[in-house]
Structure formats: structure tokens, C-alpha cells
Amino acid sequence: MYQVLYRKWRPQTFTEVYGQPAVTTALKNELRSGRLAHAYLFTGSRGTGKTSCAKILAKAVNCLHPQDGDPCNECDNCRGIDAGTILDVVEIDAASNNGVDNIRDLREEVNFAPAVAKYRVYIIDEVHMLSAGAFNALLKTLEEPPEHAIFILATTEVHKLPATILSRCQRFDFGRIPAADIAARLHYVAEQEQFTLENDAALLIARLADGGLRDALSLLDQCLSRSRDITADTVVEATGMAGREHLFRLARAVREHDGTTALTVLGALYDGSKDMERLCVEMIEFYRNLMVVKSVRKSEDLIAVSPAELQELHSEAETLTLGAVLHILDVLQGTLDRLKGGVSRRVEMETTLLRLCEPRLDSTPESMLRRIEDLEAGMVSQKPVVATTTATAPAPTPAPAEKPKEEPVPAPTAAPATPAAPVADMQPFDQWAEVLQRLATQCPPLYGVLIDSEAMTDGERLVVVTDNDLFVSLVKTDGNKFTLMNAVQAVAGKPMRISRGRPVKQETAEKKQEDDPLSAFLKQSAEAGISIEMKG
């Protein structure tokens, strides 16, 4: 019968254990010196080697010919423990044997001397599942066991253990195995099993395993059922991932506020039977990598990706602010929680992508901060244009005081520098202050641009009188025009068309120029074809 890879390649000695050098070194030193504890506690995330080290320790203490702290795996005791024929080594699943009666049976059995081996070893897996009564029944035996008994407790949730249990055990913490170590082990297995495994595929499996070598071997077995030449595409296909290309397309759509492209990509993934929860997890990991790239100088130490993908991450990170990345991560984390109990996962992901593409649809403070950052970026990009225009504009030459009549009068038909709506026949809009008060809470950037402005109206149309050039560009961003129109309608009680007008001071100067008698006389003479030359 075929044996799955994680069982076939389970380590048989401490030397073969990957990614836990501190634990294996300490255990080998204790075995070499004979300083064995009566109770051990192995803690850590899944697939990091807790149960494997417990079985190796059970063999090592009973081995007839130990080799530098490792079991020989050739003597009768080692072979009998591997085959399960030696009853002195007992492995208990606390998830299904968690009652007081189970622990009472163990407490009575532990008093008997071992039949074949040197020690009776009890491996209690998932010990945190024991009931409170079972823990209390185990306390006395765990504190003062017989000299021939050794307890090895293993758990993934050490915080659930009572302090009275923790204080009676020698604790070893198993950390997550680094991705480089997992990839190296996968390459070794591939070489022994005689199939091809690309380096990018090994790194991708290592990243998906999240520090667990058992999960990595299970994923490798799953990919091996599709092809004996395993590439990154094979891993994507076997695990139902969205793939890196789709993630970059989604990130580009979010950055460019393109909800249409985002929903189109999501629809293609959904039609390809991609799991929405897995897609959300992949997007969280993708933006987590962007966060690390923007925050850490040597990001390659914290990200398990290929050099080519790392370069793409750096390019993508340059287009986003750290605040935008944190906002996206916060939205995705909330979406992941809702996906676990939602009815339609596709709808949940679609609404999430729309909120990411259009921050104005999200009312959280993080979304508001992201919108302000986008606005500041737009203002910074406009500053050089304004500065250049100001610098190149010719300075007006004041007229000499002694010859005021020698200055030529400008032609009255000259077009204004910037087109603006006329406000001469309109009345001041007395409720403009109330409109600004609403904008202060609904759209602070627009309020900041219009804080010194005025408004004129003829009953049907509203002209915003301002000389701030940012008003035109800002009102076209993120639907700010609709925000302004809604605020005006709420105050005025009816919808009004909105346009920009020239400042009153410019109109007053031009009006005075038109009312000047000399200017009127010169204008009439020019229309009659009479040329008048003025001399001092």
C-alpha cells in the first residue's frame, strides 16, 4: 500500500529533525548525560515536529545501543516501538480520551514495571483537550511518577494548560520552521523519490505551509498526483490558488480605483472554481509582503519569495503609501472573518473589492486617511506647475507718476486668463456658510479649498467665487462634485447647477475700467475709425 510522504519521511533521529536545532540539541545532551526529566512538555504550531520528537525520545531512552543521543533504529526495542509491538510506549489522544476515568486508568497502569523496555513512556497528544477533572487527577502522578515512567505532553495551545501542569514539566517550544529549511527538505525528498521540483515551487509550498513541514509534505504529495515535474503553476493548480499574476492585477485595479477590472478578475477566478476564502488569504499575504517591503530595509529576510517576485513587490510598493496598505489589510481581515459565516462568498468579496477601489464608500477613519493621502499626492504633483506659472509671469510695470496719460489703454476685447462664470447679475448666496459647515464633516479637503470662497446665485444656478485653482481639480476627484451638489441641495431645498466664478475684486477693477470716461471716449473713437494720438 502507498504510504503518504509525511509518514514515509517522518524523522527517525534527532539529526533528521529540520528547523528545531535548539530543541534537538538540548534533548541529545540530556540523553548523553543521563539527566532525564520525568515529564516533558512540547509546545508549538502544527507540523513542527512535536510528536516526531516525542517518538524519537521514547525510542532513545529505551534503545539498547544509543548513538550520541540518537536511537540506533536497529535494536529490538527500536524496531518494536516503530512497529507498535512494545506496549511499554503508549500514545494517547487526549482529544478523544479526555475524561477523568481515562486518567484514572493511566494512573493505575503507570505503577506496573515495564515488560520489555527500560521505561514506560506515555505520550499524551493534544493535552490541552483534557477536562479540568482529568488535569486534577493527573497532577499527583505527574509530580511524583515512578522511576520507570516518563510523560511527554504535546499541545498546540499551551495557554489552555493549568499553571499546575506547566510547573511540573520541562518545557520545549517548537518554533515555525523557516521557509528555507522546508524548501531544502522538499528538495531532498524529491531527490530521493526521483521527481523534479523547481525552486520557485518549493518556496511557494513552503510559504503555503506556514511553518509546518507536515503540511508542506502533504501539499507536495498533492502536487505529485498531478505531475512528476512540479512547477509553480502545478502548485497553483493543485491548491486552487489565484496565482501571483491575478494578485498583481487586483492590486493594480485597487490602486487605480478601477472597480470594473477588479470585479472582472474576481468573476474569472470564481468561474474557475477558485475559493473566495483562499483568495482573501492570498491577498492578505500579498499586502503583508508590501507592508514589510515598505517598512524593512532587508525585506528578503522576512518574505519567502523568488528574486523576480521580490522585485515586482518593490515596484508595487513604491506606488502605495503605508497608510493605504494598512487600510487594505484591515478591510481584508474583516472580510476574512465574515467569509467564514457568510451566505454568498462571492458577494462578500465583490463588495470588499469595491470598497477598496472606492475609499469614499468606506466611512472608517482609515479610509478617510487614505483619501487625504491621495489628495495630498495630487496636490504635490500640481505644485511644480503652479510655481512655474508664477515664476514666468511678467511683473506689471507701474506707470510713472509725472506722465499718467502716456500709458496705453488695454484693449477692452481681451479675453480673461481663465474662463469663469459671470456673477454680475447674481445675488449673494446667504446660506453658503451652512454649505461649508456641511462640507467640513462630509469632505474636509474640499472644505479646506473653499474656506475663503463666496457664492452667488440667480435662483437656478450657483457660482462658487474663488481664486484657488485646486477647486477645479479637486471637484473632479472621488465624486466630490456630487458631495458639493448634495450639500447645496440640502441647504437651499432644491438642486442647483454649480460652476466657478471669478473673484469679486477682479470684476470690480474691470467694472471701474469700463466706467472710466476716457476709456469710453477712446473706444467710441476707435469704432468710428478715428485715430487719436495723445501727447504730453
| Collapsed DSSP state (helix, strand, coil) of residue 71 | coil
CATH 3.40.50.300 spans which residues of the chain? 5-174
Looking at residue 408, what is its pLDDT?
A: 46
Helices vs strands, H then E, count in the chain: 24, 11
pLDDT at residue 127 greater than cutoff 70: yes
> Which of 10-24, 224-238, 339-353, 494-508 has the least mean pLDDT?
494-508
**What residue has cell string 493535552?**
127
* Confidence at 466, pLDDT banded by 50, 70, 90: confident
- The arithmetic mean of pLDDT across residues 86-102, rounded, is 86
Of the candidates 90, 95, 129, 93, the residue with the CA atom closest to the CA atom of residue 110: 90
From the list 57, 133, 65, 44, the residue with the least C-alpha distance to 91 is 57
Predicted confidence at residue 189, as pLDDT, reads: 92
The ranges of the chain annotated as CATH 3.30.300.180 are 427-514
Strand 170-174 vs strand 39-44: parallel, antiparallel, or unpaired? parallel
Q: How far is CA 309 from the centre of its chain?
A: 17
Residue type at 464 in one-letter notation: V
Q: Please report the pLDDT score of residue 520 as a whole number.
A: 62
What digits encode the pLDDT tens for the residues 388-422?
333 344 444 444 444 444 444 444 333 333 344 45
Specify which of 24-38, 309-323, 509-523 reaches the highest per-range mean pLDDT.
24-38
C-alpha atoms less than 13 angstroms from C-alpha of 534 in its C-beta half-sphere? 12
**Rounded Cα–Cα distance for residues 216 and 277 (Å):** 20
Q: What is the CATH number of domain 253-361?
A: 1.20.272.10
Q: C-alpha grid cell for residue 292? A: 514589510
| CATH number attached to the domain at 5-174 | 3.40.50.300
Give pLDDT tens digits for 413-449: 333 333 444 555 678 888 888 888 888 777 777 777 7
pLDDT, position 150: 92
Q: For residue 34, give the nearest of 111, 153, 119 by alpha carbon.
A: 119
Q: Is the pLDDT of residue 265 over 80?
A: yes
pLDDT at 275: 85
Q: Which residues belong to CATH 1.20.272.10 in the chain?
A: 253-361
| Closest C-alpha among 416, 499, 501 to residue 467 | 501
pLDDT tier for residue 505 given thresholds of 50, 70 and 90: very low
* Percent of the residues in the chain that have a pLDDT greater than 70, as a whole number: 79
CATH class of this structure's domain 179-239: mainly alpha
Indicate if the pLDDT at residue 386 is higher than 50: no
**pTM of this structure:** 0.58
pLDDT digits (tens, 9 = 90+) for 288-313: 999 999 888 888 777 877 677 788 88
Using pLDDT thresholds of 50, 70 and 90, give the confidence band for residue 516.
low
Q: Where in the chain is the domain with CATH 1.10.8.60?
A: 179-239
What is the identity of the amino acid at 339?
L
**What is the percent of the chain where pLDDT is above 90?**
18
Lowest mean pLDDT among 258-272, 430-444, 507-521: 507-521
With 0-12 / 13-18 / 19 or more C-beta atoms within 10 angstroms meaning exposed / middle / buried, residue 187 is middle
Confidence of residue 287 (pLDDT cuts 50, 70, 90): very high
pLDDT of residue 60: 92
Q: What is the pLDDT of residue 56?
A: 93
In this prediction, residue 524 carries a pLDDT of: 64
Q: Where are the alpha helices (DSSP H) in 168-275?
A: 179-193, 199-209, 213-224, 232-239, 244-255, 259-271
Indicate the pLDDT class of residue 506, thresholds 50, 70 and 90.
very low
Looking at residue 243, its pLDDT comes to 63
Query: H-type helices in 35-148, by residue range?
Result: 50-62, 76-83, 100-109, 132-143
Fold of 427-514: GMP Synthetase; Chain A, domain 3 (3.30.300)
How much is the pLDDT for 340?
80
